[in-house]
Chains A and B, each alone.
Chain A
């Protein structure tokens, strides 16, 4: 059993070392406050580790699965009452306008790629960001931006096509 525990420790350390920066960056982008982001990061790793048996390799990519757990917890956080009260002192925090502005004070470790994604058309970027970082559904995005649902789809597609070319 001691050996197994050591194996677990290795796996945990491996998981943490390799995914903490990726998850933390996304969480911070969502919740904006470092203290909150640290809490959510911890929650995410605990959840990832304890939900590991339910992860189905056939059903999806591990990194996507982990990102989704972290994103969902972070989005739940910003939607919780407590968080709304505590961030009332910072109005405009999660409005569309802040998303139109590309720099949000988060310094990425990979400046090159980050800069490249800034080439993304702002009209397209805001759609991806609202869904990915604010947890909006397509119809919520359409409503928020006052554009037809079809446009949301087209722009999301163009945005990801563009990003996909960048990373290739």
Chain B
């Protein structure tokens, strides 16, 4: 039999999902025991179905915990060794065997107790490691899904941004105003997209240095020599920010102002400026 073909056939997945008859399942068990490759592929399927089952997890009512735990405690301790021996043999001569039985009994109990202790500790260790695995698997799965969701929303946001940017750029009435760094800040740069029909202003601050804490950049339109507030710049990342609508401007400039912006520009703190070639 070709092992890879067997793995690819889908039978392991059927096994994991519970779609095989007992006889078919036994065949899978047999092959998994024989071929490590099969066993690994099967484990993968089982782990996946465990995770799928976990996606349905729902905590039962808290009141159930005590009740169910009591029920579990009431059943025979789960150890083969403790199964009571049925059909006790009665001694023919009680007085003669009494002492012997007592002693061997207590020794027997000691042994049982020791075995039980070892088993119990082993079981606890096993459960604990299993629990840790399950927990870390769950945590990983949760983290993954969170990251995934975050990535999707980031991508969506980015996509939305680039789409709106494209819309602004494609519009024939949009003029692009390059703001160049003034003498004190030769490396600073920014771009204003100004739709002269709708008067909308978009600002791209990506080439401005990060504003120090407690300060914000503010965009100004200069019309007839007077500065008009076009709004404060919220962040200097690559996002395109919509500013206040500007009716008329011969130039745009950016100054660094206290947080929240100022009524009049602090001219000593001007970073960039550019003419808008307004028609």
Contacts and interface: CB of A to CB of B under 8 A. Distances in A.
Which of B17, B120, B124, B128 neighbours the largest number of chain A CB atoms within 10 Å of its CB? B17
Contacts of A141: 19
A154 interface: yes
B211 interface: no
Contacts of A109: 57-59
Contact of A42 (B49, B53, B68, B149): B68
Interface string B152-164: 0000000000000
Number of chain B interface residues as a range: 35 or more
A94 interface: no
A140 to B, nearest CB: 8
Contacts of B223: none
B51 A163 contact: yes
B153 to A, nearest CB: 12
The majority secondary structure among interface residues of chain A is helix
A164 B60 CA distance: 27
A121 to B, nearest CB: 14
Interface stretch (B6-14, B90-98, B171-179, B197-205): B6-14
A108 B146 CA distance: 15
Contacts of A31: none
Contact of B21 (A38, A41, A137): A137
Contacts of B18: 68, 71, 131-132, 135
A134 B14 CA distance: 14
Given A49-B75, A64-B50, A110-B55, 6 more contacts: A20-B65, A38-B60, A64-B49, A109-B58, A112-B145, A167-B144
Q: Which 4 A-B pairs have the closest CB atoms?
A: A153-B10, A112-B145, A52-B78, A157-B10
